[in-house]
Amino acid sequence: MITDDELAKLDSIAHANNISLIVDNAYGQPFPGAIYTDVSLSWNTNTILCMSLSKLGLPGLRTGIVIANHDTVEAVSRMNGILVLAPNSVGPSLLTRMIKDKGLIPLANNVIKPYYQAKANIAVKLFNEIFANSNAKLHKLEGAFFMWIWFPELEITSEELYQKLKAKGVYIIPGHNFFIGMDDAWPHQHQCIRINYAKDETTLRKGLKVVFQEVFNA
């Protein structure tokens, strides 16, 4: 997760270069609130804040929300008018009702955040148990539904590890996909994997054990 200070620095750079700052707030405040650190939501007319209903458990509605200055919103609206001939109305209607009923924020704070925070705690517990005697590192879980694991001495790339795990029915995301624009020679990006921890504990435990066996016992 990005910190308030980091976001402020990015905002300053964007202003200095006269470009908009696009913020992906799909997991953040005020909803769905699936973040476990103290952060504040900031916005100004140079910010394009993108949100979604998918992390409320409604990914099939394909409803995105853009909060920006008037000119940007007008441009996005015109673009959608051309690209999306039959926009979905269920998501906006549902969200409008939840806002009017003042049920959206309590849902995020009392249901969604506690649910996924409990999942995160289980993920940390399982990692500490399964990888206890290894040199694997777990990134601090600050929000969202994913755990990042770093294998400092991984002898193959994370892409190759992905292929091996897929053959065993375990799906991870190779880390190099998230290091866009960086020097490909940096080994760290090929030693990291991302795993969705939103599964039940039994499934997650089974999957992590397969990962451990493939990395350390292959």
Domain harbouring 37, CATH code: 3.40.640.10
Cα–Cα distances (Å) from 131 to 53, 73, 143, 205, in that order, read: 35, 47, 21, 11
Q: Is residue 16 part of a domain?
A: yes
Same domain, 123 and 156: yes
Tell me the residue type at 202: T
Which secondary-structure segment (H or E) carries 52?
A: strand 47-52
List residues bridging with 174 in a β-sheet: 193
Q: Convert the pLDDT of each residue in 94-127 to its tens digit.
A: 889 999 999 999 999 999 999 999 999 999 999 9
Residue 1 pLDDT > 90 = no
Q: What is the pLDDT of residues 33-85, one digit of tens each?
A: 999 888 888 899 999 999 988 888 777 777 889 999 999 999 999 998 888 87
Which positions ≥6 away from 163 have C-beta within 8 Å?
none
Q: What's the pLDDT at 218?
A: 62
Average pLDDT over every residue of 137-166: 95
CATH of the domain at 190: 3.90.1150.10
Domain span including residue 201: 112-216
Q: What is the pTM of this model?
A: 0.87
Quick check: is 158 in a domain? Answer: yes
Query: Rounded to a whole number, what is the largest CA-CA distance in the chain?
Result: 57
Residue 45 inside a domain? The answer is yes
Instruction: Looking at the structure, tell me whether residues 57 and 122 fall in a common domain.
Output: no
pLDDT band at 213 (very low <50, low <70, confident <90, very high): very high
What mean pLDDT value characterizes the chain?
92
Confidence of residue 7 (pLDDT cuts 50, 70, 90): very high
The count of domains in the chain is 2
Q: Same domain, yes or no, for 201 and 120?
A: yes
Q: What is the pLDDT of residue 171?
A: 97
210 located within any domain = yes
